[in-house]
Amino acid sequence: MVSLIRCQPGRISSLHSQDKMALQLRRKTHESVLYIDTDSAPRIIPSGEDFILEDLPVGTRVIYPKPPIKGLPNREAAIRYALNHPHETEPLYAQLYPGMRVTIALDDISLPLPPMATPDIRQSVLEVLLDLMSANGVDDVHLIIANSLHRKMTEWEMKRMVGSRIFNEFYPDRYYNHDAEWDDGLVKLGETRHKEPLRVNRRAAESDLLIYVNINLVPMDGGHKSVAVGLCDYESLRAHHEPQTIRDSDSYMDPARSELNHKIERLGKLVDEHMNVFHIETAINNRMYKGEMDFLIKNEDDFSAFDRMKFEAMRLAMSKIPRAARRKILHSVPAQYEMIACHAGKTEPVHAKIVEKCFDQYAIPIKGQCDILITGIPDISPYNVYSVLNPLLVQVMALGYHFNFYRNKPLLKKGGVLILQHPCYDEFDHNFHPSYIEFFNRLLPETRDAVVLRDKYEREFATNPSYVEMYRRGNAYHGAHPFFMWYWGENGRQHVGKVIAAGAENAHVPAMLGWDRADNLTEAIAMARSYMGRSAEITMLHQPMIGIADME
């Protein structure tokens, strides 16, 4: 059995001093980057609801998240300051007058991940905003969750997000989810010069003022995406959520080189022409866990005896309970994010400030691409909150999110091997992901070509009356959503030479997704080396992490 306590001083001392120096130097490229040595501890790798320990080959580069930036000491004061000192517009209080119609749109449950400890930042912003509304005689206020084609949030989730007081006052008549399939509730704003249509929430569009409250977890979030995507309909979304746009985004985590972002900016200008938007954006640090779980984001070489004990205790306890219970437990642990910046005002200057802060937190300078990229897939994604990480979501996390966490050029060389660690179980949530099931079982056996899938089937799924009803009346993702998830992995799919699913408990899920499978990570690395050569450079993203590889 692999143990965390690994030290072989004899072997280290037998190394030539020159080799030792080389290793030492390699370790010091950045505080978040280290190289596996002969005396390194095994690494903790998430694999769905489990955490496994694996010895990595000597020389493997491991990338950790950056240390969290200290949170702002007084969240409410920072919010008030932002509202009173907005960018390129009047302070919010100066824009309010009695009798006006105000809509406040909020990011949905896909942000942040996992859901943060209460009070949620949105609650804090809303409390300040609603006091301000009340003081200025503004009564006609609606709160709309900008869920776009995501599933609608449940009553319990909505209450948790804004707190009981606001919930009791506004729900359900004045606090509700956006409905992208309610024709009467949508209004067309027009088209961009590239003929991209935009139809958005009518209440938001016809308000005297739309205030958007955002939480920015990654650089892809926020900005014009908030309104132009969060409050739009299917036809508007399909103009940019399509394979070629994703292929042309290098990466979609880098706004400057993201075709997706360029298209959304065009739509944003359309929004600004027709709507009065006051944008409030917040940036958070990356303190996903603290206390009992903080060892998950620490360097294993620096583990204390207590850290090892906590990990072993967790592993033992989790091994005794079924997967569904493990999932439930993990989903009940809230993230401990802290707000590190808040800006308000016009969308573009606000977003620029927040993205800058995001990169301060997430950008890790990395020199040199790798041949083999290893990433564990934890049970965390924007689309499986309180649900199952089904095979399509494993795909989007690996080839979409984890692959795209780079700036300038991919961390993995063109044609390299991506190894993901996940059981790849064939499990779907029937309430949240009904159309995913049909997509996976009916369409993927026919083709994995994103363009063919879009042309042949996307509209059929989008208009399937069953899926429309489940989206509108239930808590299902829109019928077209599994297609977007497939496109989301498109530039990863075009770039990698091979994907290996390590630890996959079956053969058919990896096969359906076009991947090889391996029983464990060691076998996967051997397979990858046989493909890329014995001298292949290996890099591992230490999950769970949010970090952008800032490639030199």
Partner 1 sequence: MEESLAAAAFYDLEGTLVSTNLVHTLGFYARNQQGLLRSIKKSAATVLSLPLFAVTDQYSRKVFNDLFFQRYKGETEDRLRYFSEELFEDVLKPAVYPGALELIDKSRRLGLRQVVVTGALDISVTPLMRYLGIEDYVANHLEFVNGEATGRLLPPMIAAATKASWMRSFAERECLSLSDSYAYSDSMSDLPMLSVVGHPAAVNPDMRLRQTALHHDWPILNLK
Which residue ranges make up the site for partner 1 (CB under 8 A)? Answer: 428, 430-431, 434, 437-438, 441, 463-470, 472-474
**Pick 11 or 442: Cβ nearer partner 1:** 442
Query: CA-CA distance, 82 to 485, in Å (whole number)?
Result: 35
Burial state string for 505-534 with b = 16 or more CB within 10 A and e = fewer than 16: eeeebbbbbebbbbeebeebbebbbebbee
Q: Residues near 73 by Cβ (< 8 Å), separated by ≥ 6?
A: none
CB of 131 to partner 1, least distance (A): 36
Q: Tokens for 31?
A: 């505080």
Residue 34 or 443: the one with the smaller Cβ distance to partner 1 is 443
Q: From the CB of 511, what's the least distance to partner 1, in Å?
A: 19
Collapsing DSSP to helix, strand or coil, 232 comes out as strand
The residue (of 258 and 475) whose beta carbon lies closer to partner 1 is 475
Q: How far is the CB of 238 from partner 1 (least distance, A)?
A: 17
Nearest CB to partner 1, comparing residues 278 and 439: 439
Q: How many CB atoms lie within 10 A of CB 414?
A: 11
Least Cβ distance, residue 154 to partner 1 (angstroms): 13
Nearer to partner 1, 161 or 470 (CB): 470
Give CA–CA dist 352/367, Å, rounded: 26
Task: Return the amino acid letter for 281.
Answer: E
Nearer residue to partner 1 within complex by CB, 299 or 464: 464
User: Could you tell me which residues come within 8 angstroms of residue 120 by beta carbon, excluding any fewer than 6 positions away?
Assistant: 160, 161, 162, 163
In the block, residue with structure tokens 């309104």: 227
Closer to partner 1 by Cβ: residue 406 or 471: 471
What six digits make up the tokens of 341?
Answer: 């910046």
**Any idea which residue has 């989301």 for tokens?**
488
Which CB sits closer to partner 1, 151 or 225?
151
Shortest separation between residue 391's beta carbon and partner 1, angstroms? 13
CB of 237 to partner 1, least distance (A): 18
Specify the DSSP element, H or E, that contains 437. helix 434-438
529 residue type, one letter = R
Is the separation of the CB atoms in 387 and 552 below 8 Å?
A: no
Shortest Å, Cβ 183 to partner 1: 10
- In the bound complex, what is the minimum distance in angstroms from residue 434's beta carbon to partner 1? 5
**CB of 143 within 8 A of CB of 174?**
yes
Residue 86 near residue 344 (C-beta atoms within 8 A): yes
DSSP tag of 30? B
* Cα torsion 172, 387, 52, 501: sign: negative
Closer to partner 1 by Cβ: residue 90 or 469: 469
| Residue 70 vs 473, nearer CB to partner 1 | 473
We find the least distance from the C-beta atom of residue 442 to partner 1, in angstroms, to be 9
b/e code 177-199 from CB counts within 10 Å (16+ = b)? bbbbbeeebbbebeebeeebbbb
Query: Closest separation between CB of residue 505 and partner 1, Å?
Result: 19
| Interstrand relation of 140-146 and 175-177 (parallel, antiparallel or unpaired) | parallel
Q: How far is the CB of 473 from partner 1 (least distance, A)?
A: 5
CB 86 within 8 A of CB 92: yes
Q: Hey, how many other C-beta atoms are within 10 angstroms of the C-beta on 25?
A: 10
d(CA 479, CA 310): 42
Of the pair 70, 430, the CB lying nearest partner 1 is at 430
Shortest CB 455 distance to partner 1, Å: 15
The radius of gyration of the chain from alpha carbons, rounded to an integer in Å, stands at 24
Q: Contact 217/341 with Cβ under 8 angstroms?
A: no
Distance in angstroms (rounded) separating the CA atoms of residues 214 and 222: 6
E strand spans, 202-293? 209-216, 277-284
Residue 295 or 428: the one with the smaller Cβ distance to partner 1 is 428
Give the C-alpha separation, 193 to 195, whole Å.
5
Nearer residue to partner 1 within complex by CB, 248 or 427: 427
Q: Which is nearer to partner 1, 291 or 465 (CB)?
A: 465
Tokens read off for 530: 């046989």
* Smallest gap from residue 443 Cβ to partner 1 (A): 13
Q: Residue 97, exposed/middle/buried by CB under 10 A (0-12, 13-18, 19+)?
A: exposed
State the amino acid at position 230 in one-letter form. G
Distance of closest approach, residue 435 Cβ to partner 1, in angstroms: 8
